[in-house]
Amino acid sequence: MKIAIISDVHNNETNLKKVLDYCIKKKIKKIICCGDLASDETLDFMADNFNPPGGGEIYYTFGNMDNEQLR
């Protein structure tokens, strides 16, 4: 099984979309995000746009730039 590890997105949905599309193309089923999405909207965006065939999973930990809404 392939796993992607990402971090420090900082609300950059344009680049995040590129990464998510790459993960789907390469049949990656799990993403580990090491923090710093920076908003709950970006977390929602990630969840809405990572939908590989057969389903996928996202694991997330908080970073120093993540606001209180994500905790």
**Which sequence spans correspond to the domains of the chain?**
3-70
Report which DSSP code applies to 1: -
Q: Please give the pLDDT value at position 67.
A: 67
Q: Is the dihedral of CA 21, 43, 56, 8 positive or negative?
A: positive
Task: Grade residue 66 by pLDDT with cuts at 50, 70 and 90.
Answer: confident
pLDDT digits (tens, 9 = 90+) for 22-58: 999 999 999 999 989 888 899 999 999 999 988 999 9
Closest C-alpha among 34, 39, 26 to residue 6 = 34
Q: What is the CATH number of domain 3-70?
A: 3.60.21.40
d(C-alpha 65, C-alpha 1), whole Å: 30
CA distance 11 to 13: 6
